[in-house]
Chains A and B, each alone.
Chain A
């Protein structure tokens, strides 16, 4: 194989899922080629590499595709195990806890956040979503206390699995706060998470990749407009 490994990441700059893969690669100091998809279209390569879902991110390693963001993160952690700190903890119980929270964040918490972002109007559904997001943040505040054991990240001294799973949404969390004019992360209710979010966003592996909040608000407004248009048709 000429020139060592071939690593491509298919994605969009605004996607928190794509961000996860980028952060994991940065943590391991692995170089890769970022292939930006054109919003609203799907490239041939994407369709070929992820025929089941046709979604990003897709990591293509020496021609072989890996799909689903947290599966990609685990793959990176395993292939480049020696190259950087471990993303998943070593203890099986801690790993189970990390995996549990990643599932919770994706299955329950983020869909509620999306409802706030793409909200049609300030209706009952949106108010309910807001409650869910805030309740979720309380759960994650408690989880942070347990997992971090007084250190900087969910993963302890370095950015770990839950940090990546949850931290990728920091930009969108701030965007949602701006768009809805509300506070979601709170100095009184979620002080630990506030500290963690600042540290996460300024971590070496993250800071160059985290999208600007104002740009995300623009995308959010577009999503909202599209939702409103669909609702009235």
Chain B
């Protein structure tokens, strides 16, 4: 059930978890859009014009208007296309959802980067931090089907793209996400049963291959 939306373009990069958030949100709403793959080492004039402040993906361009910052984009999508709401209707629940999505933003990517970039003591610290971050998120999930409760919601969208990076985190950090946070692994599997998620995320081995490229680029290992 796709709604032909007038002029929706997503500037993105295949493996970006931030871009994937937008893809998942658009798919959940059944919005048709044009996907434009950017080469981050040779950014298009369109990207530079659409996001002059940060020059980063993802950027959603709706009827010629650019929206930047993945969680800002997801909230925009949620507000413009009101079917299958991602944010709850209760203000307190909304505040909690925003808090945890923001927590994912603040913690996961930065810690993940330390995990693959650093060695020795610094990497060990990154490993400890990542396990702590994942355990906190697992605590918030609890025994719920999704972070959003019975329905797939804002925090699920914000966090699930990083599940494709679990394998890479485990390999770089020498730990097992399944052992440390079994509920998170089960949750990720449930999310992958949704077409919006399975079509947006890449195979964890492909992600790890990409991390290998990054490592070479930065002269790590």
B92 part of interface (Cβ distance < 8 Å): yes
B76 touches A93 (CB 8 A): yes
B103 part of interface (Cβ distance < 8 Å): yes
CA distance A68 to B97 in the complex (A): 12
The CB with the most chain A CB atoms within 10 A, among B62, B91, B102, B136, is that of B91
B99 touches A92 (CB 8 A): no
Interface size class of A (residues with CB under 8 A): 20 to 34
Q: Which of A94-126 contact B (CB under 8 A)?
A: 95-96, 99-100, 103-104
A95 touches B92 (CB 8 A): no
CA distance A71 to B53 in the complex (A): 23
Residues of chain B within 8 A (CB-CB) of A52 are 103, 136
B76 touches A75 (CB 8 A): no
Type the 1/0 row for A49-77, where 1 means its CB is closer than 8 Å to any CB of B: 00010000000010010111001101100
A96 touches B72 (CB 8 A): yes
B80 touches A68 (CB 8 A): no
Total B residues in contact with A, Cβ cutoff 8 Å: 22
B75 touches A64 (CB 8 A): no
> What is the CB-to-nearest-CB distance from B102 to chain A, in angstroms, rounded to a whole number?
6
Q: Which of B171-188 contact A (CB under 8 A)?
A: none
Residues of chain B within 8 A (CB-CB) of A72 are 95
A139 part of interface (Cβ distance < 8 Å): yes
Type the 1/0 row for B66-81, where 1 means its CB is closer than 8 Å to any CB of A: 0111001101100110
A230 part of interface (Cβ distance < 8 Å): no
B205 part of interface (Cβ distance < 8 Å): no
- Given A93-B67, A96-B72, A103-B69: A64 and B92 within 8 A (CB)? yes
Residues of chain A within 8 A (CB-CB) of B54 are 104
Residues of chain A within 8 A (CB-CB) of B65 are 93
The DSSP consensus for interface residues of chain A is: helix
B95 touches A95 (CB 8 A): no
A79 part of interface (Cβ distance < 8 Å): yes
A71 touches B76 (CB 8 A): no
B91 touches A75 (CB 8 A): yes
CA distance A216 to B79 in the complex (A): 39
Instruction: Pick the contact of B75: A61, A75, A79, A96 (CB < 8 A).
Output: A96
A139 touches B53 (CB 8 A): yes
CA distance A67 to B98 in the complex (A): 10
B98 touches A100 (CB 8 A): no
CA distance A119 to B67 in the complex (A): 34
> What is the CB-to-nearest-CB distance from A172 to chain B, in angstroms, rounded to a whole number?
22
B194 part of interface (Cβ distance < 8 Å): no
A sample of 28 inter-chain contacts (CB < 8 A) reads: A66-B92, A66-B95, A67-B99, A68-B102, A71-B95, A71-B99, A71-B102, A72-B95, A74-B94, A74-B95, A74-B98, A75-B92, A92-B79, A93-B67, A95-B75, A95-B76, A95-B79, A96-B67, A96-B72, A96-B76, A99-B75, A100-B67, A100-B68, A100-B72, A103-B69, A103-B72, A104-B53, A139-B53
Binding site for B on A (CB under 8 A): 52, 61, 64, 66-68, 71-72, 74-75, 78-79, 92-93, 95-96, 99-100, 103-104, 139
- Further contacts, 4 of them, CB under 8 A, given A66-B99, A99-B75: A75-B91, A78-B94, A96-B67, A96-B75
